[in-house]
Amino acid sequence: MATRIEVTGLTAYYGKFKAVSDVNLTIEPKHVTAFIGPSGCGKSTVLRTLNRMHEVLPGARVEGSVLLDGEDLYGAGMDPVNVRRTVGMVFQRPNPFPTMSIYENVIAGLKLNGIRKKALLDERVEESLRGANLWDEVKDRLNRPGAGLSGGQQQRLCIARAIAVEPQVLLMDEPCSALDPISTLAIEDLINKLKSSFTIVIVTHNMQQASRVSDSTAFFSLEKTGDPGRLVEFDKTSKIFTNPTEKRTEDYVSGRFG
């Protein structure tokens, strides 16, 4: 159930502003791919084009193609709602639904898919929470509000919510930037575990994190503020961090720029 993503000639706009220009890369199935780069380089924008969340913002649009196992997400007749059920997403700030319990949060996506059977829901809740390494911490209080958990637990709850619908790809937009180091470690362990089932793309500002969790790394950058971001280099993570081809990549990962 993991999927290859091929991005070709992708350019994304916010209204008239061109945020990223001409991105080409192939994301391998059951791999963790990290997007790194300075703020404003468009890495989050590219991530959001992979499940058509980019166009949710007013005035935002996309050119180019994103093939998911050969099928163009931006092809005619492709419903963004279906895309998002196939490509799940975890956001920068933990965002469990505050009006729902832990249990209801996990099944939120399943209910949208019309699954109502209690036994099946129970099963999927336990499965997803175990998958997100959260089950042992919350199994006795599934009917308590999800917003009452700690930040790290909330983020794992959001991951459980995302994987409950069994997507093929999991996008993570700086999933640890609002978390303390212990919670960050818990999420990184989880990413290692999840990559056996999902194709994972993670945006991170933390280069150590990129080197720890990812197999491939894409480095984005921009010439100056106001210019569109571009993909500078995309390669195996070990190569990017030890022997990058581009001078700019080396400057960034070694801390001389950025």
Partner 1 sequence: MTTEPDSSAQSAEQRGAASATVPPTDDPVGAPASGPTSTGSDQPDHDPVAFTRPAPTTTGKAAVGKADVAFKNLTRAAGLGLLALIVAIALFLVLRATHALGENDGNFLSTQEWFPNQDPPKFGVAALLFGTIVTAAIAMIIAMPVAVGIALFITVYAPRRLSSPLGYIVDLLAAVPSVVYGLWGLLVLAPHMKGIQLWLSDYLGWIPLFSADSVGRSFFVAGVVLAIMILPIVAALSREVFLQVPTAHREAALALGATRWEMIRTAVLPYGKPGVISASMLGLGRAMGETIAVALVLPASFKISWNWLEPAGNTIAANVANGWGEANDIGRGALIASGLVLFVVTMIVNIIARAIVARRRDFSGSSA
Q: What is the DSSP letter of 227?
A: S
Could you tell me the two tokens for 177? Answer: 């930037």
The binding track of 210-229 with respect to partner 1, each residue x by CB under 8 A or -, is: -x------------------
* 26 vs 69, beta carbon nearer partner 1: 69
Determine the interface stretch with partner 1 among 56-64, 65-73, 124-132, 192-200 (rule: CB under 8 A): 56-64
Determine the interface stretch with partner 1 among 16-24, 63-71, 213-221, 248-256 (rule: CB under 8 A): 248-256
Please give the helix or strand (H or E) that residue 106 lies within, else none.
helix 102-112
The binding track of 166-195 with respect to partner 1, each residue x by CB under 8 A or -, is: ------------------------------
Crossing angle of helices 151-164 and 102-112, rounded to 10°: 30
What is the side-by-side strand order in the sheet with 87-90?
87-90, 169-173, 199-203, 32-36, 216-221, 230-236
Q: Looking up tokens 């070694």, which residue turns up?
A: 254
* 8 vs 92, beta carbon nearer partner 1: 92
* 24 vs 208, beta carbon nearer partner 1: 208
Burial class from Cβ neighbours inside 10 Å (0-12, 13-18, 19+) for residue 117 reads exposed
Residue 82 C-beta: closest distance to partner 1, Å: 7
Could you tell me the two tokens for 92? Answer: 């920068």
Residue 257 C-beta: closest distance to partner 1, Å: 8
Task: Please list every residue from 11 through 40 that binds partner 1, using CB under 8 A.
Answer: 38-39
Binding status of residue 256 toward partner 1 by CB under 8 A: yes
Binding status of residue 153 toward partner 1 by CB under 8 A: no
User: Rounded to an integer, what distance in angstroms lies between the CA atom of residue 177 and that of residue 65?
Assistant: 29
Binding status of residue 245 toward partner 1 by CB under 8 A: no
**Is the Cβ–Cβ distance between 23 and 193 less than 8 Å?**
no
Contacts of 237 (CB under 8 A, 6+ apart): 34, 210, 211, 214, 215, 216, 217
Q: Which of 108, 201, 196 is nearest to 160 (CA)?
A: 108
The binding track of 60-89 with respect to partner 1, each residue x by CB under 8 A or -, is: ---------------------xx-xx--xx
Q: Write out the residues near partner 1 by the rule CB under 8 A.
A: 38-39, 51, 53, 56, 58-59, 81-82, 84-85, 88-89, 91, 93, 95-101, 108-109, 112-113, 144-145, 147-148, 158, 161-162, 165, 205-208, 211, 241-242, 252-256, 258
